[in-house]
Structure 1
């Protein structure tokens, strides 16, 4: 039953993606090649970037619809009223920034739902989506909080699927990459899962190598890690001497019926809009 409600909101596919950790060397090598002026990675093979097509295939999010934007209100009254409408109770917030809601509290509320009525299931799904917004799509460096500005977009359950969550996620990734490319930035936030999977799909030479596929002589030098650990220097070398780039990695893949309308518009030239992002996207 929950699965059907998630499908109705457009968040079913992204909810099945786990958190990917431990690939910071690859991230550092990619960020070095990011150009904020064009929102592209400059490689020897040419300029490439994460596209709406990638977002649709990897996250399965809607990329056609209303902008994920609106007015924001950081007052305690706003957070309280919106929290009660979405979660059924007053939310637990960050002690320093009252407009940020604790994701750990939201998860506990979600997991306590009895799922015995339509309203209970919808409350569960709203909680789950809010956690995805804070931990996967629009993350900050802590991944422990999500901004209350997204709550009004979840109030009308029937309208959740009408928002272009995918394009907003892509705008957030572009902004995160632009910040990370500055000389004084030491960390990067944003939808890193999207970036990692994009890199593996488009540049197979960067993909993790399962240890069980290695020859015994190589495997004997391993540890308990399930993949071969590479350094930033190794990733730089792999990118610089890459022989091929997968320009059409999704050809022949099965596309669920609910994604077909979005895949058909992924080649458009349109502005990418989100609360704090407004940038242009080209094919």
Structure 2
């Protein structure tokens, strides 16, 4: 799988700034970033170590009044953070997202400039590298990316029939959404 595959499947741009830097996993970092990004401090039950509960973030998103620019920005940041935790950078739980992505959402005008697809591909490769270890029971990572890639490249293994989309319709992963499973 290549960057071009990720861009084609998820509809993400290929060019962008690299996502790198120092990661803080302290409780203070989590609280400060949460206040800066979401306008609220997570309670003890809404975070675990350096992870944030996605249900809490979704509740914040759904409660936003959307009556001014900052409220709309908080809503979009919540939505992007949920997308990062549930689609691009998933882990075994799928209930939490790592707080290390919060600083990337702070500057609202730079969010679109990052190379999200390259970080997603690295996350997948790291998960594939860790998967065969003797102490691992499950594989994590953006498996939906891996599944769609395999179904596109090897349609004989797909569990669903591919919907036909116009060539210009992206992301390709939409071909496989809301499809009915076949029993054959």
Output the TM-score relative to the length of structure 1. 0.55
1:253 to 2:152 alignment: no
Equivalents in 2 of 1:63, 1:206: separation in Å? 28
1:109 to 2:60 alignment: yes
Equivalents in 2 of 1:100, 1:135: separation in Å? 13
Higher helix share: 2
Cα gap change, 1:80 to 1:184, in 2 (>3 Å) = closer
1:82 matched to which residue of 2? Answer: 33
What displacement does 1:118 show? 1.6
Q: Which runs of 4+ in 1 moved over 4 A?
A: 93-96
- Would you say the 8 A contact 1:93–1:99 is kept in 2? no
Equivalents in 2 of 1:66, 1:206: separation in Å? 35
Aligned pairs for 1:230-245 (under 5 A) are none
Aligned pairs for 1:1-283 (under 5 A) are 50-92=1-43, 97-210=48-161, 253-254=167-168
Specify every segment of 5 or more residues in structure 2 that has no aligned partner in the other structure, as ranges: 172-184
Equivalents in 1 of 2:47, 2:54: separation in Å? 15
Cα gap change, 1:117 to 1:95, in 2 (>3 Å) = closer
Equivalents in 2 of 1:57, 1:198: separation in Å? 10
- Would you say the 8 A contact 1:94–1:145 is kept in 2? no
Task: Indicate the RMSD between aligned Cα atoms, in angstroms.
Answer: 2.2
What displacement does 1:255 show? 6.2
- Would you say the 8 A contact 1:94–1:101 is kept in 2? no
Q: If you compute each CA radius of gyration, which structure gives the higher value, 1 or 2?
A: 1
Equivalents in 2 of 1:183, 1:134: separation in Å? 26
Equivalents in 2 of 1:68, 1:82: separation in Å? 17
Between the two proteins, the alignment pairs up a number of residues equal to 168
- Would you say the 8 A contact 2:90–2:97 is kept in 1? yes
What displacement does 1:83 show? 0.6
Output the TM-score relative to the length of structure 2. 0.83
What displacement does 1:149 show? 1.1
Please state whether the residue corresponding to 1:157 is helix, strand or coil. Answer: coil
Equivalents in 2 of 1:92, 1:152: separation in Å? 19
